[in-house]
């Protein structure tokens, strides 16, 4: 059995969209999402710029190119005019054209810039994929070199773009090498695989122990889908009871998963059960399920003399 490691993750960048994590080498055009400032493709150092910065540069240059193109057309029209009247008409028409171009650019500038960025990302998709594969190879080399922290930090960045089960499984392998603490910036829903995975369930168990807020609908749906697989694992019942207790945190989850929660009422800690009873007591009669009856019954049999439960139902 491998020794667990106490690690502190590098702080992940906070971005509105995933593409903001992309950076481009100004020398060779290679893409990367990793933290290293050295380009693995050409060896250049400190030549990376964020793709948004590159797009902003294009947005500064291209409108001027469009304007100069329009001016050139107007000048050609004036030069090739046969009479003064034609020259005046060409100049007047050109002035109107340039004015309209200026108004359109000012009105639609945000949309034009967004469209250029989208076109840039689409046109550069092969280069972006090539860069992500190079980043992934670097992470795999870290795993082979028994550097799980470095590998995970790279896989975490790559995972914003490549979201297949193979990436998720490798992240879980790394995470299962660490002591999981509450102060860590932990993933869970992003790691849910398409099929049953015991390593994922073991990580889920450790992660939810320290942070019940990680349990969201996707996690609950996964646990429900594979609850019998989980139950057959060592400590399987403890894992299921922990998830049921975490579901009590949200009223909406209690309403969505009552038949799952009711199976683990006996295993719920007192504070979790107390919260659940408060939710049940406030439930209108027409919305009550078997969960209400079981909570009422258990509250009276186990906590009948506890003042926290007096006159609750």
Where along the chain do its domains lie?
1-179, 190-313
Percent of the chain clearing pLDDT 70 (strictly above): 83
Query: Distances in Å between the alpha carbon of 271 and those of 167, 216, 274, 278, 305?
Result: 37, 20, 5, 11, 16
CA 86 – CA 265 distance, rounded (Å): 90
Collapsing DSSP states into helix, strand and coil, what is residue 48?
strand
CB within 8 A of 286, min separation 6: which ones? Answer: none
Provide the sign of the torsion angle of the four alpha carbons 9, 13, 16, 17, taken in this order.
negative
Helices (H), the chain: 51-79, 84-123, 125-144, 148-158, 165-175, 198-210, 217-225, 227-231, 236-247, 251-256, 258-262, 270-281, 290-303
Q: pLDDT category, 6, cuts 50, 70, 90?
A: very high
Answer for the pair 239, 233: CB distance below 8 angstroms, yes or no: yes
Q: pLDDT category, 110, cuts 50, 70, 90?
A: low
Please check the confidence at residue 72 and state whether its pLDDT lies above 90. Answer: no
Residue 46: what pLDDT? Answer: 85
Please check the confidence at residue 65 and state whether its pLDDT lies above 60. Answer: no
Residue 69: what pLDDT? Answer: 64
Please check the confidence at residue 67 and state whether its pLDDT lies above 90. Answer: no
Instruction: Return phi, psi of residue 31, to 5°.
Output: -105, 155
**222 vs 106: which has the higher pLDDT:** 222
Residue 5: strand pairing partners: 178
Please check the confidence at residue 84 and state whether its pLDDT lies above 80. Answer: no
Instruction: Return phi, psi of residue 48, to 5°.
Output: -80, 140
Percent of the chain clearing pLDDT 90 (strictly above): 58
Residue 49: strand pairing partners: 24
Provide the sign of the torsion angle of the four alpha carbons 42, 44, 50, 55, taken in this order.
negative
**106 vs 147: which has the higher pLDDT:** 147
**pLDDT tens by residue, 130-170:** 999 999 999 999 999 999 999 999 999 999 999 999 999 99
**pLDDT tens by residue, 221-255:** 999 999 999 999 999 999 999 999 999 999 999 99
**Model confidence, pTM:** 0.81
CA 32 – CA 129 distance, rounded (Å): 9
**pLDDT tens by residue, 178-207:** 999 999 999 999 999 999 999 999 999 999
């Amino acid at each position: 059995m491998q020794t667990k490691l106490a690690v502190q993750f590098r702080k992940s960048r906070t971005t509105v969209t995933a593409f903001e994590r992309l950076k481009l080498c100004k020398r060779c055009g290679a893409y990367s999402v990793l933290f290293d400032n050295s380009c693995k493709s050409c060896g250049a150092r400190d030549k990376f710029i964020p793709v948004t910065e590159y797009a902003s540069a294009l947005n500064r240059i291209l409108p001027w190119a469009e304007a100069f193109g329009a001016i050139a057309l107007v000048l050609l029209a004036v030069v090739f005019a046969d009479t003064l009247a034609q020259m005046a008409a060409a100049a007047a028409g050109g002035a109107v054209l340039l004015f309209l171009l200026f108004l359109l650019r000012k009105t639609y500038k945000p949309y034009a810039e967004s469209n250029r960025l989208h076109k840039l990302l689409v046109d550069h998709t092969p280069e972006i994929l090539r860069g992500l594969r190079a980043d992934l190879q670097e992470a795999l080399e870290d795993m082979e070199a028994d550097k799980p922290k470095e590998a995970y930090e790279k896989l975490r960045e790559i995972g914003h773009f490549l979201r297949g089960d193979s990436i998720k499984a490798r992240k879980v392998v790394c995470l299962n090498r660490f002591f999981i603490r509450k102060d860590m910036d932990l993933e869970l829903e992003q790691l849910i695989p398409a099929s049953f995975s015991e390593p994922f369930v073991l990580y889920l168990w450790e992660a939810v122990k320290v942070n019940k807020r990680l349990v969201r609908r996707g996690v609950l749906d996964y646990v429900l889908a594979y609850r019998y697989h989980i139950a057959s694992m060592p400590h399987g019942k403890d894992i299921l009871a922990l998830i049921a207790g975490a579901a009590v945190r949200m009223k909406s989850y209690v309403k969505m998963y009552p038949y799952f929660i009711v199976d683990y009422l006996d295993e719920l800690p007192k504070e979790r059960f107390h919260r659940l009873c408060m939710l049940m007591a406030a439930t209108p009669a027409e919305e009550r399920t078997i969960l209400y009856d079981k909570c009422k019954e258990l509250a009276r049999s186990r906590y009948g003399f506890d003042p926290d439960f007096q006159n609750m139902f």
